[in-house]
Each structure stands twice: as C-alpha cells, then as structure tokens.
Amino acid sequence: MAVKLNRKALEHARSLIKKGKVHRDIRDDWSEHAPSTDDENQFLDKHGFDDFAKWHLGIDDAKSEGTKGSVSFPFGDFKKAHRCAIISLESRAAQYDHDDIAKAAKELLELIDAE
C-alpha cells in the first residue's frame, strides 16, 4: 500500500495551529529547523512511537509498524508546527502523487496564514 494520510497527525497539526503553536518561518528554513536524528531518538525514548507518529502526516502500513521508516512528511520540531515544513511536505507529497497528504498540507497552510 502507498503512503497514506495519518489522520491523527492531521488533527494534531490543526490543534497546534489553533493554539498558536506555529513557527511562521519561510520555505527554505526547514533544512535548518528539522529535528536531528538525536532529537528524534530522544523524543521517541521519552514519548513513544505513537506521539512521534503524530508529528508526521504520512504513514506507510507496508513498513514495519512502530519504526521511523513507517512515517513520513514531518511538519514540526516536537514543540511547534513549522510553516516551512508544511510547505516542503506539500510540494513533496504532490510530486509523488500523495494527493491526500498534499491536500491536507494545503489546508494547514491556509489555517496558518489565516491566523
């Protein structure tokens, strides 16, 4: 099965945006703002995989459940949603025909920009 929209992550992202937990950065900032592998591992150790997965709009049931490889399209740094991450993932999702993820990202950007 292809990568599909992680609906729990979408709800988490909407909640963060509604609470104002958004970093309104520009498109190319994500490479500098993205969590490092160490940051990811520390978050996983402290919070578990379910909370880790809520920071990724993509989920792939064909990959081993509970692994980093089973989630994709991160949208934040485990504290805030990042506008630059959502812009980046929208573009990547559209490029690889993950239309539901691209559509969700567009919705999140509209929410951020409406605030």
* Torsion-angle region of 98 (φ positive above 0: left; ψ -120 to 50: alpha; else: beta): beta
- The total of structural domains in the chain comes to 1
Q: Is the pLDDT of residue 53 over 70?
A: yes
Q: Do residues 24 and 83 touch, judged by C-beta distance below 8 A?
A: yes
Q: Do residues 81 and 104 touch, judged by C-beta distance below 8 A?
A: no
| Residues 32-42: tens digit of each pLDDT | 889 999 999 99
pTM above 0.85, yes or no: yes
- What the block records as the tokens of 88 is 């980046």
More confident: 88 or 28: 88
Domain, as residue range, for 11? 4-114
- What the block records as the tokens of 53 is 């997965």
pLDDT attached to residue 43 = 97
Q: What is the mean pLDDT of the chain?
A: 93
Residues of the chain with pLDDT > 70, as a percent, come to 98
Continuous segment of H or E residues that includes residue 56: strand 56-59
pLDDT attached to residue 33 = 87
| Residues 69-105: tens digit of each pLDDT | 999 999 999 999 999 999 999 999 999 999 999 999 9
Whole-angstrom distance, CA of residue 43 vs CA of residue 104: 24
Whole-angstrom distance, CA of residue 106 vs CA of residue 99: 10
